[in-house]
């Protein structure tokens, strides 16, 4: 593993710890990390279905992920038939 990759990984972990995410927020962030390489847009209700949460829980727990400094970039994207999130690495 290169030094750059190691530094990026460590920086992401430090940022997560300093933000003090809840268990649900960690689960959502991990889900987005796992899937952002093959998908860009995520609906709250589909994230919720995959994680056993409600769409409302997903939406309520996205604010720290939007405001935090993580290895994924998250933007609130659309509202038609539920909130859509644009996620990029």
Instruction: Walk me through the domains of the chain, giving residue ranges and CATH numbers.
Output: 3-88 (1.10.10.10)
Higher pLDDT, 9 or 34: 34
3 state DSSP class of 78: strand
Rounded average pLDDT over 10-22: 59
Give the pLDDT score at 4. Answer: 44
pLDDT digits (tens, 9 = 90+) for 36-73: 999 999 999 999 999 999 999 999 999 999 999 999 99
Average pLDDT, the chain: 84
- Residue 77: name the closest of 46, 43, 49, 38 by CA: 43
- Its pTM stands at 0.77
Q: What is the pLDDT of residue 25?
A: 98
How far is Cα 87 from Cα 89, in angstroms, rounded to an integer? 7
Backbone region of residue 57 per phi and psi (left: phi > 0; alpha: psi in -120 to 50; beta: other values) = alpha
**pLDDT recorded at residue 46:** 97
pLDDT attached to residue 1? 47
* 19 confidence band (pLDDT: 50, 70, 90): low
């Amino acid at each position: 593993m290169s030094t750059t990759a190691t530094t990026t990984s460590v920086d992401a972990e430090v940022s997560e710890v300093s933000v003090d995410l809840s268990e649900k927020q960690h689960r959502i962030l991990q889900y987005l990390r796992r899937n952002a390489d093959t998908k860009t847009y995520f609906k709250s209700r589909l994230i919720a279905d995959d994680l056993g949460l409600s769409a409302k829980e997903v939406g309520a727990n996205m604010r720290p992920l939007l405001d935090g400094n993580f290895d994924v970039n998250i933007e609130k994207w659309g509202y038609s038939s539920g909130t859509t999130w644009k996620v990029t690495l």
